[in-house]
């Protein structure tokens, strides 16, 4: 695997080494030992999740507050998504800055998201399968989120926002400036 640091500390794009032949392909999805050697980041994933979305579905921005925050390793098994994270670590040099990347079944890239980030993704194709590993269990009382169209974040979703498919929950999330208890 190749690990690419981003401009945001501890946020990594991972490209697995893919072996292709006439039968198809093989790649090692995650190797804890190699990952920790390349990044210095310890992981302890406890759960794997899979979500299916049709084109235009936007999920997020979601996060869990401490002590139930989650580290995530995200990827796409079918289709493609625009994946976006916002750094909510108050002591970070990149606090309130965002990073986006297209993850797809074709490019097989993964994004390692440490604790302290809000996370969202927009499905760019029908039947996109979004897979992610997490290092902490879901805790409903610690769940929080930020509106996808927060003007202070100024996210370019590269999509006609009038065609988005959102849950009522995501449509009614607060703006970051209205959140007191990050």
Question: Which pLDDT tens digit goes with each residue over 80-95?
Answer: 999 999 999 999 999 9
Torsion 172-102-53-67 (CA) sign? negative
Q: Please tell me the predicted confidence (pLDDT) of residue 33.
A: 93
pLDDT tens by residue, 138-158: 999 999 999 999 999 999 999
Residue 50 has pLDDT above 80, yes or no: yes
Please give the mean pLDDT across all residues of the chain: 95
pLDDT above 90: percentage of residues in the chain:
95
Domain that holds residue 99: 2-178
Q: Please tell me the predicted confidence (pLDDT) of residue 179.
A: 84
Q: Please tell me the predicted confidence (pLDDT) of residue 182.
A: 65
Is residue 114 within 8 A of residue 11, CB to CB? The reply is: yes
Residue 72 has pLDDT above 80, yes or no: yes
pLDDT tens by residue, 101-130: 999 999 999 999 999 999 999 999 999 999
Q: Please tell me the predicted confidence (pLDDT) of residue 127.
A: 97
Q: Is the peptide bond before 67 cis (omega within 30 degrees of 0)?
A: yes
- Using pLDDT thresholds of 50, 70 and 90, give the confidence band for residue 180: confident
- In SS3 terms, the chain reads as CEEEECCCCCCEEEECCEEEECCEEEECCCCHHHHHHHHCCCCCCCEEEEEEECCCEEEEEEEECCCCCCCEEEEEEECEEEEEEEECCCCCCCCCCEEEEEEECCCCCEEEECCCEEEEEEECCCCEEEEEEECCCCCHHHEEECCCCCCCCCCCCCCCHHHCECCHHHHCCCCHHHCCCC
If one counts the domains in the chain, the total is 1
pLDDT above 70: percentage of residues in the chain:
99
pTM of the model: 0.95
Active site residues: 62, 132
The CATH code of the domain that includes 131 is: 2.60.120.10
């Amino acid at each position: 695997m190749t690990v690419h640091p981003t401009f945001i500390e501890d946020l990594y794009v991972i490209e697995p080494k893919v072996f292709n032949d006439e039968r198809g392909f093989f790649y090692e999805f995650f190797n804890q030992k190699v990952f920790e050697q390349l990044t210095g980041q310890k992981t302890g994933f406890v759960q794997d999740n899979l979500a299916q979305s049709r084109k235009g579905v936007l999920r997020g921005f979601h996060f869990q507050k401490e002590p139930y925050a989650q580290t995530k390793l995200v990827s796409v098994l079918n289709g493609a998504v625009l994946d976006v994270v916002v750094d909510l670590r108050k002591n970070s040099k990149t606090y309130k800055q965002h990073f986006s990347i297209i993850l797809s079944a074709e490019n097989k890239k993964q994004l390692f998201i440490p604790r302290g980030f809000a996370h969202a993704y927009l499905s760019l194709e029908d039947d996109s399968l979004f897979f992610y590993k997490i290092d902490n269990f879901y805790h409903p009382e610690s769940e929080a989120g930020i509106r996808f169209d927060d003007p202070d974040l100024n996210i370019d979703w590269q999509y006609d926002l009038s065609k988005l498919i959102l849950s009522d929950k995501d449509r009614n999330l607060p703006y970051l400036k209205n959140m007191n208890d990050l």
